[in-house]
Structure 1
Amino acid sequence: MSGTSAASAAALAAAFADAYGHAPEGVWRAPGRVNLIGEHTDYNDGLVLPFALPLGVSVAASRRDDDVVEVRSLQADGTVTAPLSGTPGDVRGWAAYPVGMARVLREHGVGGATLLIDSDLPQGAGLSSSAALECATAIALCDLHGVWIAPAELARLAQRAENEHVGVPSGIMDQSASMLSSAGSALLLDCRSGLTSNVPFAPGEAGLTLLVVDTRASHELTGGEYARRRAECEKAAEILGVDALRDVKDLPAALGRLSDPVLRRRVQHVVTENHRVEATVGLLRAGAVAEVGGLLLASHMSLRDQYEVSWPEADVAVDEAVRAGARGGRMVGGGFGGSVIVLTRTESADRVRNAIEAAYQARSWTPPVFLDETAPSAGAHRLV
């Protein structure tokens, strides 16, 4: 299934009936996201600027009388059945996300449910399929059981589910983008206060195209590198005597107090990345969308050299795009695989695509995939 049309929702509802022998009570959907800029700042209490994609995760669901969640996916074999009273770690793999979400929501009056999941987000592409799954499950369960939770709080509960039940120490950005985004806008999120504002982002109106390139290098955040970066930031903040790296105001002075070159690099990225978010917001509000390209490129270089989370396919994609005339680009997501965004004049988009494809072919890499649907879209909602 792809898209959010009534036909797509009907198809998932029919698949649910085939799988479980009765119709679902509804179909809900939550989008994936692209983070325009502000990478690895969220868990440092910083600023991020994501937007929701048209692609996402849909959930057909019905209530159960017992305290059990039963989950199937059209993208995976088998059925997972788990008690809501279970403990973190007893469900692994993709099912840990919806089961963990159900367990967290149990504290708010949500009961058992039967779920069928479908996704048109490429898995492992760094487009936050996990948060989309959590948020689609969350709104489905709340609607089924008549529980109302403010969207911003629901995003925090989804983050908690991922932290506790999947074991990924993620920040709040992905879930907030999936829950709170609006069509035609990027979402400026202050990860400390939780305050958000919509920032106009319509590259097509400025004669620009934002390409999303799945580099096909698999991305897996449950590995140790993501957690290590977070621990390094926490250690640096402790040495500097601040609650989080967001509080560093004098970067040269802070770097002078850190003897560990690794911690110096991490701090330099986080502090400068927050500044890049602020600058990007200013440019977008001024209508200078094309000028954002230089900030994207600076972000990529910082992620590559200071935060050390980029990967060869991303570096080549960005380099070749710029050589072919793109305004700029960068890796997105946690790193170590996933996707790249490229901002280019629309008339140059085909040339940029061809340059990236040729560079991959020359290296005998798996061909990249270019997402066709990238317009900033609405957050989580009920379909039928």
Structure 2
Amino acid sequence: MIISRTPLRVSFVGGGSDLPAFTRQHAGAVLSMSIKKYVYLSMHEYFENRGCILKYSEIEKPRTTDEIQHRIIRQVFHDLQIDRVDFNSSADVPAGTGMGSSSAFTVGLLNLCYAYRGEFVSRAKLAELACEIEIEKLGEPIGKQDQYGCALGGVNFLEFHTDGTVSHESVPLTAEQRHQMEQRLLLFYLGGTRSASNLLAVQSRNIVEDPHVTANLQAMVEQAHRLRGDLAADVDNLGLYLHDGWLRKKALSAGVSNEVVERAYEKALAAGATGGKLLGAGGSGFLLVYAPGDTRNEVIDALSDYQLHLVQLDTSGSSIIYSD
């Protein structure tokens, strides 16, 4: 039995600048943090002498790899020649809620399959391979921030270059600064799930067709560059960056926000939060809020209609947590 554990991520600023429609012409940048919310995948030898059993939100019993309905599993199993396995998937939060769960699944599955084959692959390489699977082979209209944010662990500054490569740098924070971030960042589940692919496809078209969207993304890239230093100088700078980034993100397409999100966000600001954003491509899912100083309890009370999730930093990235 082998078990992989891969963290989900929250992005602070720069989201959208990793989309190919933008990075083909301009360098993108995102500052993100992996958190202690995980995708768990397990695998061991299948009892039957042919085929697999796959248990995720569905149950499959394909006799060959080509019969697998789950596109990511089918591609990874095909590429790594995985067969006769009993595979299980579970996660701390639902898919489609804005924390990169699909890419965390891909990264974790690659890590699991390589470990099953007795091979070690670095976290950065897992992220690169996950991008290849999702974007190049499966044609998903997504960027590369989720794969790296979930694979690496920690707080990272990610750059997306016009040649398709990605560079990454850990943001240096003291133990006290990390504690402050964990205390002042709050996650509220507003409900619902959505297809990130559909929303990102719209945003990609807007990048191509509307120069104002491109200019907005360039400003968001500059935010990511500045926040890298300003976060290390004073964690409370994060709230202001989140607020400005959220206003810019809403300008990318009409589907990013809605009335439910806006009401919740206004309540948070009125209670003392200095900023926040809806995670992921938009529409539904988790609202991330920054509540500095003694405003934490007031913000929690103001958003008591929504399920609260505390934020804890993950520093391990995608890991094999059990092998026997």
User: Which residue number in structure 1 is paired with residue 238 of structure 2?
Assistant: 292
User: Which residue number in structure 2 is paired with residue 217 of structure 1?
Assistant: 192
CA contact (8 A) 1:63 1:144 kept: no
Specify the SS of the correspondent of 2:277: strand
Q: Distance in 2 between matches of 1:355 and 1:200?
A: 33
Q: 1:206 to 1:134 in 2, by over 3 A?
A: closer
User: Which residue number in structure 1 is paired with residue 315 of structure 2?
Assistant: 377
Q: CA deviation at 1:54?
A: 0.7
User: Which residue number in structure 2 is paired with residue 115 of structure 1?
Assistant: 87
CA contact (8 A) 1:168 1:221 kept: no
User: Which residue number in structure 1 is paired with residue 288 of structure 2?
Assistant: 341
Q: CA deviation at 1:96?
A: 2.8
Using structure 1 for the length normalisation, give the TM-score: 0.73
Q: CA deviation at 1:160?
A: 2.8
Specify the SS of the correspondent of 1:350: helix
CA contact (8 A) 1:100 1:162 kept: no
User: Which residue number in structure 2 is paired with residue 101 of structure 1?
Assistant: 76
Q: Give the gaps of 5 or more residues in structure 2.
A: none
Q: Distance in 2 between matches of 1:281 and 1:343?
A: 17
Q: CA RMSD in A?
A: 2.5
User: Which residue number in structure 2 is paired with residue 272 of structure 1?
Assistant: 219
Q: CA deviation at 1:168?
A: 2.5
> Which among 112, 120, 135 is matched to residue 107 of structure 2?
135
User: Which residue number in structure 1 is paired with residue 156 of structure 2?
Assistant: 187
User: Which residue number in structure 2 is paired with residue 12 of structure 1?
Assistant: none
After the TM superposition, which of the residue ranges 64-73 and 207-216 deviates more from structure 2? Answer: 64-73
Residue 47 in structure 1 maps to residue 29 in structure 2: yes
Specify the SS of the correspondent of 1:39: coil
Specify the SS of the correspondent of 1:81: coil
Q: Give the gaps of 5 or more residues in structure 1.
A: 1-23, 237-262, 358-366
User: Which residue number in structure 2 is paired with residue 70 of structure 1?
Assistant: 53
Specify the SS of the correspondent of 1:371: strand
Q: Structure 1 counterpart of 2:201, which letter?
A: A
User: Which residue number in structure 1 is paired with residue 206 of structure 2?
Assistant: 232
Q: Distance in 1 between matches of 2:212 and 2:307?
A: 32
Q: CA deviation at 1:276?
A: 0.9
Using structure 2 for the length normalisation, give the TM-score: 0.85
Whose Rg is larger?
Answer: 1
Q: CA deviation at 1:132?
A: 1.6
Q: CA deviation at 1:100?
A: 2.8
How many residue pairs get aligned? The number is 308
* CA deviation profile, 1:150-196 (whole Å, cap 9, x unmatched): 322321221232236655221111111111123xxx11111224211
Q: Distance in 1 between matches of 2:180 and 2:17?
A: 29
CA contact (8 A) 2:206 2:252 kept: no
Q: Distance in 2 between matches of 1:168 and 1:291?
A: 34
Q: 1:66 to 1:303 in 2, by over 3 A?
A: farther
Specify the SS of the correspondent of 2:171: strand
Specify the SS of the correspondent of 1:139: helix
